[in-house]
Structure formats: structure tokens, C-alpha cells
Chains A and B, each alone.
Chain A
Amino acid sequence: MSEGQPLLRVEGVRKHFAFTKGVLFAKTLGHVKAVDDVSFDIRAGETLGLVGESGCGKTTTSRMILNLEEPTEGRILLEGEPIHALKGEALKAYRAKVQAVFQDPWSSLNPRMKVGRTIAESLIVNAWGDKARIDERVRELLVQVGLRPEQAQQYPHEFSGGQRQRVALAAALASQPKLIVLDEPVSALDVSIRAQMMNLLKDIQAQDDVAYLLVAHDLATVRHMADHTVVMYLGKIVEKAPTASLFDDVRHPYTKALFSAVLVAWPGRGEEEVELKGEVPSPLNPPSGCRFHTRCPYVMPHCSQEEPALREVSPGHFVACYLFE
């Protein structure tokens, strides 16, 4: 891991959505704090895993990185340059550098377009070359993701789910991005296909030195893919650490609960089990203090009064919890 400037830096980012009533004279009733003061770095050629349950803000965070959503506060920098100030050509260049692959390969491909055309789209937009060169590049990309070059002439319905996800990846790779946001890239796939896709993603990273932001709920997938992992709960980072350190030494009670929800799955593992009561509270009116205190088995009186800050408990391993102060 090289020191120095990270590829992408997320700095104290917040995203609040107004919750309104009425149309013409809309009244703001409150704000949903979807993402609240989130910071992390992604280094070139590295994978960052972003983990959490529905409503934790992981998708909003990735949408802000994709420049589809503007932060209410804070900023995001790619190679030192704030991305939300970009306009025109610079913004177009940014879109070429940061690409995405989403969960559902059915809905991310145009059913009426041959997949070769879908893959070529970003090359055409960026006037990458003449038709012959683009066709050549499309064939190359198909081979790179483990498909056959002549499959460029087929339509999405002629592919299986796993193959469609490969096409989506080829389209993302076309503009030679520096970062690909992978939003649950394997969760819609069958077990054996999932393993193929994960191996492929790792191979491509090794070849092209592309960085991934892996948004996932499956911890085992993150463990196999990510160098660093960030755990979010209700718009906040509760724990972030190098993946190996996190999996060796889980600290935050919420992360522990997430882990026990999967760990005990394999028979014979009689680990300490943390079961959470109740459900995730509404982000419209999040609990005071530590947002996890309403479900935390180790809750203490002052947890509901003041928000705990992220604190380094071991090199690179940060936890936001009063148990570690």
C-alpha cells in the first residue's frame, strides 16, 4: 500500500433529503439524514468494502461518488480535485474515470441494444476512435471478461444472469476507469456463478490496477474482495479498518451483531452471539447520541446523550463507541 494522495477522498460528507408536504407551497417537515459526516479514502488499485443494512446510507454514499447526487455538506475529491465543482468536458472526463456496475444485470442493460453497442457507448461518447477501432476494443473487452468476441452481436436476453453481469462489467471497463463502484455486484447471482464473478473482478484489478468501491451486505464477499472495510449504520460510520484487522478483531457492538448473524451459520461455531432486538429506527428521526444505542446490548447511560467520535483503537482501525474510550 503506497502512502501519499489517495485516488478518492470522501471528506465529512453529509446528505440530507428534505421531507416535504404539499406541492405548490411545500412545507419542509424535516430532513432525512441519509449520510451524516462520512469520511474515507480509496487508494489506487485497492478495494474498499462498504457494509451495512438497508437504510444505512451506503447507496447514497455511492451515488454521491458517482456524481449523481450532490452532498449537502463536505466534499469528495478525485486525485485531489473536488468532483462536484466539475462541469462540461471535465465532468465528462470524470464519468469516464469513475464507472459503476449495479446489482441487477437485467435492468442495467438495454434489452433492445446489442451488447456490443452497449459496451461501445462510452467509447462513442468520448470519441475514442473510428468504428473499426471501437469494434476491436469491444471484442477485446468481451474476451477480458471471459466472453467470446462474437457475442457482441447478441442481445441481453440471450445471456444468463452471470454473463449479463460480465457484459455490464465490460461496459464499465470500456473507458479505462480508475474506480468502479460495484453495488451488490454478485448478490443476484447463484453461488457457483458468484465465485466466478469474484475471481474475475480480482483478475481485472490485478491487470488494470483499477480501484473498487464494493457496496455489499454479505460479509464473506467483502472479506474476500476488500482491502479496507467501512461499516455504516443509519448514515454514520461505526467502524472502519483494514479488512483483515476487522475480521480478526471486531469491535463495535453493531459490527459484532452483523458478524454473528452470519458466523453462527456454519455449524460447530459456538461463538458469542449478539442478537439485535427490534429494527433499524427511522432515519427521519434518528436516536440521539449514538444512533445504535436503542438496539445496543451494551448500552450505557451517556450513549444516548452524546455522539461518540471515531477513535483509532489499533493502527488503521477506527471505532465510534464509548466502550473503547
Chain B
Amino acid sequence: MKPDMRGETVLEVRDLHTHFFLRRGVVKAVDGVSFSLRRGEVLGLVGESGCGKSLTALSLMRLLPKGGAQTIKGEVLLNGENILERTPAEMREIRGRRISMVLQDPQTSLNPVFSIGDQLREAIERRKRAPNTEIMKEAVEALRRVDIAAPEQRIGQYPHQLSGGMKQRVVGAIAISGEPGVLIADEPTTALDVTIQLQYLKLLKRLQAETGMAILFITHDFGVVGRMCDRVAVMYAGRIVECGPVRQIFEAPQHPYTRALIASVPKMTGPIGRLTTIEGQPPSLMDLPVGCRFASRCPLVEQRCLDAYPAEVRVGDAHTADCWKVTPA
């Protein structure tokens, strides 16, 4: 989609903080995340395990895991309305209709003892009352929309009778049945084979073109980012350290972490030598440094990096990086 075809901002996240309050201390898993998402846009959220990308998604859905997780600061503006202030009952109306989510493992997203039809019916009945035959007709339509062959037969089947790729399509059909403006996809293709993954990504793109929904695509796979996203946000230790258009991030990454991360991905072309690695470990989220969080592993580190967290620097068109060493555009 061309930039001028994109519409208004549908989701804006400002300074989001979600921490785990444990007896051992406070785990600052999401610690000051801000980004925005426009209609018809796909924003990739990438980072390694434990960087806080999935918890960011759950914070947006207000579905935090039990056991001390709490969003303590920030705003999540869905069409200008801060959903962090909504009551649980109001949230139930918002989820599925205005913001929806697809998770990594379709096996656990579907209930094994209900048929596909029943699970779609549940989603459809949440937003409208109609006779059973009409709802089932709509369920068949929903399956057809996600390219499931012979939906009339599939509707009576159970999750175990479907392949992984098909299950993920059913999950997708349920997620978009309420025509949400924002879809959060948390590693939806990680469990799928590569050829099936390509089919699924193409399906998502097509559905997006039809509905104009905005997608927040969480992944650790740069290949998927290149295929799917318009913009990418790179997360490290609870914060977004760089954000910009896909092409710029791939061709001219600015933040040393993004650079190292991209360099360490084995490529399909070019020379085969030793892969670049990032030495060391990310800092403990319980004991974050005052300065830049990547400082302990950064090849360019200097004193000011340790003293204070760098401000966001505009390094190009719609491209920002949190680093003392980058040159402002």
C-alpha cells in the first residue's frame, strides 16, 4: 500500500510501562514503549526473547498474565480513546470488534472439544443476534474468506482434523470476524512450514487490503518482516530502540543493536564467512542500567552512554533511533 493511501492514526501507544511485581523485585518488561499505527499499515515489532514484544501486545489487549503483571503508566489510544481507562466489561466489547489478536500456536487458540463452526458462531453471536441458519451461513462465509476449501464440510469438524496451516486460518477467521480496525499478530507463522507460512502471509495481506485494518506484526524473523511490514520497530530490553521504514532499517540500520542483529542473520546470498555475533547478554530487567541498555554489549560505547539513556534522535524520514552516537538527519 502506498503511503498516501494510508489513513489516519488508529492506534497510538504513548510511554507504556508494564511491570511484573514479584517478591524478588520489579521486572520492567515493558518500560517506556511508544509507537503509532495508521489505517492500512503493517508495523513489525521485532526483538529477541524477553525483550518485551509479546507483553507489549498483551498490554494493548489488556490481557496481562496472572501473577503480578500491571500496566502502571502510559496511554493506549484506540481511535483517540484511551482503552487503559475502560472497565473490564467495556474491554470485552472492544476486544474482537475494534482490536483483535492472533497467537503463535493455533493448537492452543482453539478449543479441542468444540467444532470449528461452534467456535466461529461464538465470535459472530458476540456482535449480532440472528437465527442459527443465518449465523452458520456467515460462519461458512468467514471460512471461505480465509481460503478454506469446502467450508461447508469443515464447519462440522474439530481442530484435530485440520492441519496447522488450516487451524491458523480458522483462528484468523475468528479474529477478523468482528471487523476490527487493529489486528495484533504475535508470531502467527512461527509454527508453520515455510511454504505454508508464505500462503498465510499472503492471505493476511489480502485481508488487509480488503478491510483496511492496521496490523501490528510481532516476530523475531527478519524474513517475515521484509515480506509483511511497511515499518519496523526494534525492541531491546523493554524499549523500542529504533523505528523506521523497512527498507531503511534493512539497508541503513542506525542503532548498533539493530546493525548487529541484522548482521548476525545468515543470508541467502553473498559471502559465506563467520557470522557476526553479539557478545554478552541483555541486562537483567530487574536491574536495568541508568544509561543505554545496550551499552554493555555495544562496540561504540563511551562514557555518556553509561551516564544517561539517550534521547530519541530523528535519523531520517520517519526514522528514529535511541542512541548517543547516531547523526541526526
Contact = CB atoms under 8 A, between A and B. Distances in A.
Contacts of A217: 193-194
A288 interface: no
A231 to B, nearest CB: 12
Contacts of A263: 268
Interface in A250-292: 257-268, 275-276, 279-280
Contacts of A161: 49
A306 to B, nearest CB: 25
Contact of A276 (B199, B224, B272, B278): B199
Given A220-B266, A221-B266, A191 B48 contact: yes
A190 B48 contact: yes
B149 to A, nearest CB: 8
B278 A223 contact: no
Contact of A267 (B226, B260, B266): B226
A194 interface: yes
A94 interface: no
A214 B106 CA distance: 28
Interface in A185-233: 190-196, 198-199, 202, 217-221, 223-224
A220 B226 contact: no
A294 B220 CA distance: 33
B165 interface: yes
Main secondary structure of the interface of B (DSSP, over half): helix
Range for the number of chain B residues in contact with chain A: 35 or more
Contacts of A260: 198
Given A190-B49, A192-B48, A275-B199, A262 B278 contact: no
B276 A195 contact: yes
A11 interface: no
B193 A267 contact: no
Contact of B264 (A192, A223, A257, A275): A192
Nearest to B46: A191
Contacts of A264: 226-227
13 contacts: A160-B281, A161-B49, A192-B277, A193-B48, A195-B277, A220-B266, A224-B272, A264-B226, A265-B222, A265-B223, A265-B224, A266-B267, A276-B199
